[in-house]
Structure 1
Amino acid sequence: MRILLSLLAALAMAGCVPNNVRQNEAAVFDFGTAAAGWAAPALQRIDVAAPSWLGTPAMQYRLAYDDGARRRTYTDSRWAAPPAELLEQALRRRAVAAGGEAALPCRLRLELDELVQTFDTPQASRLGLAARARLMCHGEQTLAARSFAVEHPAGSDARGGVAAAAAAVQELGKQLAAWVAAEKSAVAARRD
């Protein structure tokens, strides 16, 4: 009888614990707040799209040493939003708000092809980011197109992958800015 009363008391007290408290909540990450300057003319708009397998907040990785074709996801870590959305926000902060010059009458269309942490060994990984860019001016006319690929060492866990992703986004932003700056004269020539 004493055991039964103790069990009922424990169950009653368990009902007092709020249901919204999670024991093992996943860590949520983005690309951070550091923003390198955009060393190019401002753009009117930036759009980033991604394939379906990058359309979720899941943080993906591969084990190159064990079935490298298989994508896996971290269970205790995830992105705050799908990677394309995070990348678009990071690039917009830099390029749309660039001061000084008037904005080019152009839009940057970026297709995110890859964002994955690849483990070559259990202790060492690299973060790969690949994208295709189109600079579109005067409506939907493609003025220039180029592919970009960035890779950074990523350590041995999800946090290392997040730091490497932030560095890769910074590097991609610099490469995109240099490319847009180089295409500026072509945009001016087409206006005339």
Structure 2
Amino acid sequence: MSTFPRSSKSAPGYDADEVDAFLQAARRAYDGDDNGPQLTAADIRHVAFAMTKGGYSTTHVDAALERLEDAFAAREREAVRVHKGDATWFEEARTTAQVVLNRLDRPMGHRFDRVSFLTLGYNRNDVDRFANRLVKYFQDGRPMSVDEVRTVTFREQRGGYREVQVDLLLDSVTDVMLAVR
């Protein structure tokens, strides 16, 4: 029996063996198995699987990984709160949020490094529009879900923003959002 629904035999999905192996390792890590791997919420956010025809449904696996990331983040938050206290936990989240806001305070079109004109990067207008929403979330308390941050996509553009920088900022935003849940 499969853990997740499968894509059709001709459509790509995540390699079932890789997904199953990762989920077993994640269970051992969550249960505190000393012989198991040490995983964090960030590790779960960055996991990638090979694509194979007839593999696991990417939508179902991604949803499960988001729930798993939330569970690991909650445990990490609780562990830090127990060892360092609530004030330290929230101060760390506040500091990260301020770093994000400092980056987003830069002028539109210049918030991140740009790739060369011959290289594709994230569309600057798309990123800047989403960045403005993030500023409103942090400064004005406008509603935004962690899923919106996790699933945002940007068109490609020659000479666009450097993808790695944008992705790192989005990871930081996710960390802050999970920290203050």
Structure 2 length normalisation: TM-score?
0.25
Structure 1 length normalisation: TM-score?
0.24
Larger Rg, first or second structure (1 or 2): 1
The structure where helix makes up a greater share of residues is 2
The structure where strand makes up a greater share of residues is 1
